[in-house]
Amino acid sequence: MKLIFAGTPEFASQALSAIVAAGHQVALVLTQPDRPAGRGMALQPSAVKNVALAHGIEVFQPLTLKDAEAQAKIAAVGAEVMVVAAYGLILPQAVLDMPRFGCINIHGSLLPRWRGAAPIQRALLAGDAETGVCIMQMEAGLDTGPVLLRGALPIAATDTTASLHDRLAELGARLCVEALGQLPLPAEPQPGEGVTYAHKIEKAEAVIDWTKSAAELDRHIRAFNPFPGAQALFGGQTVKLWQATPVAGSGPVGSVLAVDKKRIVIACGEGALAVSELQKAGGKRLPVQQFLAGHPLKVGDRFDIPA
């Protein structure tokens, strides 16, 4: 098929690679403008732009799709379908209506659960047993369109946002290619029941509240890995926690119950958390033994409780 692809991060780039490999004609790629990143804050292309350039595909990086010039460029392609994955710009109705088969979206949840910007993190935070990918016919509402294809994945007890992202990106790429090969597909309207919204992750959410249960905080740490990292406060300083396991234990909330070379056990509102990888502000992620060499912690020390 002759198509336009719109996407920005790694999640989307895997789908673009799969679509090209399947032999479809990608006539134009839309992606967010290059952004400053890294220590030098040099402009960096998106993961999708890198894939497009590697395959010699024209890249278009408008700030908005609402102006006539951008819409004219898209219309001139004469695409049969537009595939959208984590693009980051709202598609006006005029753009949604341009391709013969409309615009289809690769969404990383089992709709109607977790419509919105952060479905992977929200599924982990909520303790969902499974998640998945929906290939959805786009309409004006936020992830409200009918579903063309869906696939589910179990969420493992050790899954982080990073590991779940990679599995969902692979599933999304495969389902997207499958959908393109079968268009037009019957569209299944989303049910009115079970709708939840995956609001954008705010950095302030990453702060650990030790009054919560160890099970909740385990999910919290996994959901904020790799971004922005779960943040504990100790003596007013930020310490990021990257790996932990719920264990039995009790004591004053936030207090250190045990310390050895492999773990620091910290009391929670219910149970305790055995932390095995930490990072001080400006430092590297370290296993407990290396972390303790520069930041001694002892039984009875207490992490701050957020106000």
Domain containing residue 177: CATH number: 3.40.50.170
Q: Note whether 170 and 14 are within 8 A (CB).
A: yes
CATH number of the domain within which 231 lies: 3.10.25.10
| pLDDT value for 172 | 98
If one compares 283 and 14, the residue with the highest pLDDT of the two is 14
Q: Does residue 16 share a domain with residue 144? A: yes
- Expressed as residue numbers, the domain containing 268 is 203-294
Q: Which tens digits make up the pLDDT trace of 82-105? A: 999 999 999 999 999 999 999 999
Using 50, 70 and 90 to split pLDDT, how confident is the model at 295? confident
Considering the domain architecture, whether residues 50 and 140 belong to the same structural domain is answered as yes
pLDDT over threshold 80, residue 39: no
Note the pLDDT tens digit of each residue in 215-238: 999 999 999 999 999 999 998 899
- The edge-to-edge listing of strands for the beta sheet with 59-60 is 59-60, 25-30, 2-7, 81-85, 103-107, 130-137, 147-154
Q: Using CA of residue 40, residue 42, residue 48, residue 52, what is the dihedral sign?
A: negative
Domain end (from 198, 227, 254): 198
Residue 164 lies in a domain: yes
Count of structural domains, the chain = 2
Judge residue 244's burial from the number of C-beta atoms within 10 Å of its C-beta, 0-12 exposed, 13-18 middle, 19 or more buried: buried
Taking residues 150-177, report their average pLDDT.
97
> What is the per-residue pLDDT for 236?
85
Q: Which residue spans within the chain are E strands per DSSP?
A: 2-7, 25-30, 35-37, 42-44, 59-60, 81-85, 103-107, 115-116, 130-137, 147-154, 197-198, 230-234, 237-247, 256-259, 264-267, 272-280, 286-287
**Domain co-membership, 53 together with 110:** yes
The answer on 180 and 44 residing in a single domain is yes
